[in-house]
Amino acid sequence: MNEMRLFVNQLVPGQTLDQIFLVRDKDLRTTKTGDLFILCTLADKTGTVPARMWQASQAIFNSIAVDGFLHVKGRTEDYRGSLQFIIDACRPVPSEKVEIADFLPVTTGNTEEMWSELLEILRAVRDKHLRLLIKKFVEDKEFVAAFKRAPAAVQLHHPFIGGLLEHTLNVARLVRAVLPLYPQLNADLLLAGAFFHDCGKTAELSAGTSINYTECGQLVGHINLATVWLARRAEEVSQDSPEPFPPRLLSLLQHLVLSHHGEHEYGSPKLPAIPEAFVLHYLDNLDAKVFMTLRDIQNDPDPKNAFTQYNRALETRLFKFSTEPPAAQAETPPKPRKGGLD
């Protein structure tokens, strides 16, 4: 990361900047006097800022690429109560000359340590067919590289490089914590489901200069992709083994993937129909929702307000001070009452 740059969340009116931003969108407009000017949105890993370039030209506009990098010189100013950036000069910058971590958020965890922990959790799977199926995926170097890099979403939860791995590890940890409470569950199936439930996002999402859906992601989706991959890999296991992959076991594993969003309106082709599917759905949702709440509280722009701005996905405003320590206790605590809890 370039220590000299100012990130969007550090900008205030009156600053002069000479640095690189990512361009999210652009528009060429005309003033009342007929002069051309450019409206665009500049971004980095911390947020976005609207920008204007007066006395522009068609050539300058054409040189600016959406989702491309732009070296700008200019100044920040207040415009009707909001921050904007005035571009005095600009030039495109090749992506290989920028530090991508400045523009795309990255997991704060150690990728290799998270991957190693996930593999350690999966070693608890005893079913030989599921072990061979998992092995097919974790020994695929291209899949593993994509799994370590992929985001878990475009916006809602873990929308950063390494987000898929971080989220999957969290779900696997939650499964491991819940299993002792419900010994009737198929532990092997549930652990495998935790690993595979979002694996299709390695092809559904891209993280180049921005996090977006791929063409395949838009047309097919991660749930369908994973279901097809499981069938294909299970067939490979059958070909390599003296006995075929059990059809019911494959159907149960595919069902976990197909139902993990929990409801049709949230993209699940099937509703949960086995106990393990309900558990996976709620644990997946738990990790996503906790991430969203903590992120909104941390990033809320108004420190004076006890509640965050309205979150449309959560359908609520969040109270920001539930994690603060309780008020100091009196120096002399009250004596416990007899025959009951204090």
Q: Which residue has the tokens 């419900």?
A: 182
Q: Which residue has the tokens 């079913």?
A: 127
| pLDDT top residue among 37 and 95 | 37
Domains annotated on the chain, with CATH = 8-101 (2.40.50.140), 105-294 (1.10.3210)
The kind and range of the H/E element at 27 are strand 16-30
User: For the residues 244-253, what does the mean pLDDT come to?
Assistant: 97
Whole-model pTM?
0.79
Query: Within 10 Å of residue 226's Cβ, how many Cβ atoms?
Result: 25
The kind and range of the H/E element at 41 are strand 36-44
List, in sequence order, every residue forming a beta bridge with 51; answer none if it has no partner: 40, 85
pLDDT single digits (tens) 113-135: 999 999 999 999 999 999 999 99
Average pLDDT taken over every residue of the chain: 90
Query: Within 10 Å of residue 213's Cβ, how many Cβ atoms?
Result: 15
Q: What is the secondary structure of 259-319 as a DSSP string?
A: HTT-SGGGT-SS---SHHHHHHHHHHHHHHHHHHHHHHHHH-S-TT-SBPPPBTTTTBPPB
Those residues whose C-beta lies under 8 Å from the C-beta of residue 222, and which sit 6 or more positions away, are 198, 199, 200, 201, 203, 204, 205
Q: Which has the minimum average pLDDT: 172-186, 242-256, 305-319?
A: 305-319
